[in-house]
Structure 1
Amino acid sequence: MPNSPVVPTIRRRRLGVTLKRLRNDAGLTLDEAAGVMGWKAPKLSKIENAVQSIRPAEVTGLLETYGVSDPEVFTALEGLARDAGKKGWWQTYGDVVFLPYADYISLETDAQQIWEWSPLLVPGLLQTAAYARETIAGATTSRTTEEVGALVEVRQARQAILSKPEGALEFWAILHEAALHQRFAIRPNTMRDQLRRLLEVSELPNVTLQVMPLDSASHPGLVGGFSLVHFPGPMPNVVLLENVMGATYVEGGNDTVHFTKAFERIRATALPVQDSLALIARLEEGHRT
C-alpha cells in the first residue's frame, strides 16, 4: 500500500533534500532510482519534496542504490526517517507554539552545533525567564498574558540542550554590545540578572560568547541577525531568519554557505572571547553601583 500524503515537516524536508542530492551525485534520474526500488517516479518525487513519508528500511534501499557506503550516513538518514513524524515535548504547548517555531525547536533538538548572530536581543537559549517575559510580551501584538507565560516556559525548556549529559549542543553566540545596554524601566534588575546569566553560561565548555563592540568595523551582520544550524552526518545546514511575521528558513548547501562566510567575518570582527566576557562583567558591575 502506498504511503499516505503527510504534512511536510522540517525533518522530512531535510531528509528529502539529502536523498535528492545523493541521487544526483549517483547520476540517477527519478525514473531510474524509483525503478530499482520497484516504485513509480512520482512516489520518489513526493519523498524528495517531503509530501510523502518513507520508512527507514526504504531509506536503506535508496542509499544502497545510490552507492553510499558510509555507515554514518545510513544511521543519520534512517534516524531522520524514523523521527520525521515524532512528537516532541514542545507539542504539549501546541496552542502557543505554531508550526514555524515548532520546526525550529525540532532543528535545535537534532543539531550538533548552532552559530547565532544576535544584534538586538540576547539569544533565546541564554535568556533568563524574566528577560524572556519582557521581550516576548514586548514583541507580541496578539498574545494573552497566559500565552506569554507559556512561551516563556518553552524558551526555558529549550535551554536543556546546552547541559545534556551527552551530546550537548555546541553553541557559538555573538551579541551586539547595544543589546547588552537594554534597560527595562518596570523591572530594572532584569538586565543585571541577564548579564550574570551570560557570565554563568559562558563557563560551559560547549558555549562560546563574543560581543560586537559599538565601535566595530563594518561587517556582514549589519544587515540583520540569523542562526546557522549544523547537523551531524550528511544533512545540509539550515539558516533561520526571524522577523515580526515569523520565521523563514534557508536550506541547502549552496545558499547556507553565504551565511557561513558571513558568520566567520562577524566572528573575526567581534571582540575576542575573553575581552567579550570582561565587557559583560563590567556592564554587570555597573548595575550594582
Structure 2
Amino acid sequence: MAQVPSPTIRARRLRRELRRLRDRTGHTAEEVAKILGWHRTKVIRFELGHSRVMPKDMPPLLDLYDASEGERESLNALLRQSRQKGWWSAYGDVLPDDFVGFEAEATSISAFECLYVPGLLQTEEYVRAIVRAGRSTADQDETDRVVAARLARKALLSRDLPPSLWAVLDEAAVRRVVGGPKVMRAQLTRLTEACAMPSVEIQVLPFSAGAHAAMAGAFTLLDYADPLLDPAVVYLSNDSSTLLLEEDRQVARYKLMFDHLRAKALDPDRSADLLARIAAEVPD
C-alpha cells in the first residue's frame, strides 16, 4: 500500500500559510475580517482550524495578502487537497476527531500507553473486548464499525514506506488480561512478533521503574518528513475527549518526556523477552 496525501495535513498547511501571509501584511485577524466584510472571528477560526476555508474565501484573502502567482497556485492546490476525503471519512460516526488524519502522513510515531496496547498493534479480538468494555450500550453494528475502523488503521504499518513506530508500554498494559486468557495470549504474541518488524520498537516500562514522567497518562507524538513544513504534534486522548497540541514548547515537553520514558524502560530485547514470559504466565 502506497502512502497518499492526508487532507488533514494539507488543511493544516493551508491555515499555517494563510497565517504567515497575514503576518506579512501586518494586519490583525480582526482587521482582515473587517476589510472583507466578514464576521470578526472568521479569520481566527480559519487559522485555528475551527472552520474550513471555502473556495469562495480564497480570492479576496489572497488579493488582500498580495500573494504572488506561485503562492496562489500553491495555496489553491492545498485547498483542493484539503477538501478531499481520506479513507477514515467513511467512519466519521465512530472516528469523531482528526487523529487518524494526522497519523496517516507521519513518518515517526512515538506512543506511550499506560492502560492498553497501542491501536496499531491490537488484534481484532482485543479491539472487540475494549469496545465492549467501553461502549456498553453499543449494538453489534456499531461495535463492528468501531472494530473495522481501528483495524483499517493498521494498514499504515504495511504500506511501502511505513512510519517508524516506537511504543513504550507500561507493564500494566501488558499484564491486564483483556478479553480473557486466549485473547490476551494472542495479543501478547502479536506484540512479540511486532518486536521483529524493522519499523517497530517496543519497550516495556516495568513496575520496578517506580514513578515516571508520564504518570498523568498516555500520549502520542507524530513527526513528519519536513518539520518546517509540518511541525510535530502531540495527541492526548481518553474515552470522552481528545486534545491536539501544536505549540513548540508543548511538543518539546512531550519529546523530553518520551526520552525519559525510553531511558527508564527495558531495552527492546529485554522487553521482547518479558512479553514472551508474560504470555506464558497468562492463566487458562
Superposition TM-score, scaled by structure 2 size: 0.78
Q: What is the aligned partner in structure 1 of residue 190 from structure 2?
A: 197
TM-fit CA distance, 1:130: 0.6
1:135 aligned partner, one-letter code: I
Q: What is the aligned partner in structure 2 of residue 240 from structure 1?
A: 235
1:133 aligned to which of 103, 116, 128: 128
2:163 aligned to which of 165, 169, 176: 169
In the alignment, structure 1 segments of 5+ residues that lack a partner are 1-8
2:205 aligned partner, one-letter code: M
Within 5 A, what are the aligned runs for 1:173-188? 173-184=167-178, 187-188=180-181
Instruction: Please give the secondary structure, in 1, of the residue aligned with 2:255.
Output: helix
Instruction: Please give the secondary structure, in 2, of the residue aligned with 1:143.
Output: coil
TM-fit CA distance, 1:217: 3.9
2:258 aligned partner, one-letter code: F
Q: What is the aligned partner in structure 2 of residue 29 from structure 1?
A: 26
8 Å Cα contact 1:11-1:80 kept in structure 2:
no
In the alignment, structure 2 segments of 5+ residues that lack a partner are 1-6
Which runs of structure 1 show a deviation greater than 3 angstroms over 4 or more consecutive aligned residues?
9-13, 20-24, 39-47, 49-52, 64-67, 77-82
Q: What is the aligned partner in structure 2 of residue 264 from structure 1?
A: 259
TM-fit CA distance, 1:194: 0.4
Deviations 1:14-64 (A, max 9, x none): 22553266458x754237xx99xxx95968656434434277x98xx89x9
Let me know the Cα RMSD of the aligned residues: 3.4
2:231 aligned partner, one-letter code: P
CA distance in 2, matches of 1:21, 1:260: 26
Q: How many residues align?
A: 262
CA distance in 2, matches of 1:246, 1:151: 16
CA distance in 1, matches of 2:212, 2:15: 31
CA distance in 1, matches of 2:223, 2:78: 15
CA distance in 1, matches of 2:76, 2:225: 13
Q: What is the aligned partner in structure 2 of residue 53 from structure 1?
A: 53
TM-fit CA distance, 1:235: 1.4
CA distance in 2, matches of 1:78, 1:271: 48
- After superposition, the Cα gap between the structure-2 partners of 1:65 and 1:120, relative to the gap in structure 1 and judged at 3 Å, is farther
Instruction: Please give the secondary structure, in 2, of the residue aligned with 1:168.
Output: coil
8 Å Cα contact 2:11-2:79 kept in structure 1:
no
Deviations 1:85-121 (A, max 9, x none): 2212222233x32421xx1111111211111000110
Superposition TM-score, scaled by structure 1 size: 0.77
CA distance in 1, matches of 2:101, 2:243: 15
TM-fit CA distance, 1:78: 7.5
Percent of aligned positions with the same letter in both sequences?
A: 29
2:106 aligned partner, one-letter code: A
Q: Does 1:253 align with 2:278?
A: no
Instruction: Please give the secondary structure, in 2, of the residue aligned with 1:221.
Output: coil
